[in-house]
Structure 1
Amino acid sequence: MEFLNLALTFPTIIFTALLLVVVLFWAITLLGFADIDMFESDLDIEANSSNTNSTGLFSSFGFGSIPITVSISLVVMLSWLVNIYAHKFFAYLLGDGILFYIFGFVMLVVSAIIALPIAIIISKPLQGFFSSVETSRSSDLLGLECTVVTGKVTSTFGQGRINFQGTEQLIQIRSHDEHPYSTGDTVVLLEHLKEQHCYIVTAKPW
């Protein structure tokens, strides 16, 4: 009850709500209805229109090539964890009335600031994996077989797993075929769409 009281009262409830959104997103992703880097293309389009780097802000913090969804998830999770302990041990500092909300907001900001470098440290081992995925998204993969890992593959959605140079990688795939693909199907990478950061796939011809 003490845990629920902390998690569901201000200021921790702000991060609790964000954490629930993160958990919901990853649940949907595991079910195959969302892509891990589903926001990357939209940010690239906005960045191109303003002549800026869409991932520059995140990279400058030290997250490197890690997808934005992973970076945000780490920061939210750690911010919630730091805040719930801060709330537990320093609740007496919040005061009453308007001071309660002022110091509560300060606690939120401080928790996020503390969580950011911790998230960067945790993300370091993941950067090599996502960097190798990004560098191998080229014509070198065309013609290789890929295993579908999402529940479906359409012209706007889909993910596949491929072995390239001894490394198993997750890539974005799309299909214009009328034949439906589902989890476990083997397809062939037919074309690389650089701007969309994905591959067009077709049915295995043999």
Structure 2
Amino acid sequence: MDFLNTAFTFPTVIYSTLLLIVLLFWLISLAGFADPDMLDGDADIEAEGGADGGSLWQMGFGGVPLTVSISLIVALSWVVSYYAQKLFAYLLGDGVMFYLIGSAFMLGSLVVALPLAAALVRPLRGVFDSQQTSSKDALVGLECVIATGKVTTTFGQARVSHEGSEQLIEVRCDEENTFTQGDKALLIEHNATTHSYTIVTNPW
């Protein structure tokens, strides 16, 4: 009860909620209904455009899926916040000061967690680089089913079955209005820059 009381009271409850969302995402991903790389395309576009957010990810968290980096940050922030609240709860005070100091605890936990997460990411880069290259190329040539209402040069998702699991992937098509939800298509090329696949009408 003491653990639950700390985990589900402010400020740690914020990170507890985020941690539950992260765990739910990975359960959905393991079931094949979400792609761990689903956020990487937008991050790469921001980085190419020179956005500060993209530069930050490239400097500290590049080389692994963005979902992995976010998961590590949330998990470590939760750990730091939990123990900070556990050890220094007497500093929180009452009333307005409770929320002001609690917010400072929450932000401080994030500041501490960021470099720790970046340090954990570094040894994982080589593993993810090799695994992502082989797994992404393995999907080329497979049939997929369109999951969105349309597919354009910048938008579209599809489901593809591979090695007994179903994955949701980003797909692109040079000709708009060619595919609608439920149509079948053929994956012919993987674009590592946008983390998407080029699709064409299945010839058979």
Taking structure 2 as the reference length, what is the TM-score of the superposition?
Answer: 0.69
Counterpart of 1:37?
37
2:57 & 2:100 partners in 1: Cα distance?
28
Amino acid at match of 2:72: L
* Partner in structure 2 of residue 120 of structure 1: 118
Paired residue for 1:109?
Answer: 107
Shift of 1:95: 1.1
SS where residue 157 of structure 1 aligns? strand
Percent identity over paired residues: 43
CA contact (8 A) 2:10 2:102 kept: yes
Instruction: Give runs of aligned pairs for residues 42-57 of structure 1, distance below 5 A.
Output: 42-45=42-45, 50=49, 52=51, 55-57=54-56
Q: Do the aligned residues in 2 keep the contact of 1:146 with 1:189 (CA within 8 Å)?
A: yes
Q: Show the counterpart of 2:157.
A: 156
- Structure 1 residues 32 and 81 mapped into 2: Cα distance closer, same or farther (>3 Å)? same
Unaligned runs of 5+ in 2: 147-155, 173-178
Equivalent of 2:129 in 114, 128, 131: 131
* Distance in 2, Cα, partners of 1:135 & 1:172: 15
Q: Which 5+ residue runs of structure 1 have no aligned equivalent?
A: 163-169, 181-187
TM-score (norm 1): 0.69
1:185 equivalent in structure 2: none
* Equivalent residue number for residue 69 of structure 1: 67
Distance 2:46 2:62 in 1: 19
* Structure-2 separation of matches of 1:53 and 1:93: 35
Question: What amino acid does structure 1 have at the position aligned with 2:103?
Answer: F
Amino acid at match of 2:17: A
The alpha-carbon distance between structure 1 residues 54 and 4, as it changes in their structure 2 partners (threshold 3 A), is closer
Superposition pairs for residues 1-206 of structure 1, below 5 Å? 1-45=1-45, 50=49, 52=51, 55-61=54-60, 63-132=61-130, 141=137, 153-154=145-146, 156-158=157-159, 174=171, 190-193=188-191, 196-200=194-198
| TM-aligned CA deviation for residue 88 of structure 1 | 0.9
In terms of mean alpha carbon deviation, does 190-199 or 16-25 score higher?
190-199
Pick which of 192-201 and 29-38 moved more. Answer: 192-201
Deviations 1:153-204 (A, max 9, x none): 5361346779xxxxxxx99575979559xxxxxxx963234554233579xx
Match of 1:166 in 2: none
Match of 1:165 in 2: none
Is the 2:191–2:197 Cα contact (8 Å) retained in structure 1? yes
State the distance in 2 between where 1:123 and 1:116 align. 11
CA-CA distance at 1:10 after TM superposition: 0.6
CA-to-partner distance for each residue in 1:49-94, whole Å, 9 max, x for gaps?
x554874221222x22112111111000110011111111110011
Equivalent position amino acid for 2:74 in 1: V
Paired residues, number: 182
**Cα distance in 2 between the residues matched to 1:46 and 1:59:** 10
Aligned residue for 1:167? none
Backbone CA RMSD of aligned residues? 3.8
Does the aligned pair in 2 maintain the 1:137–1:197 contact within 8 Å? no
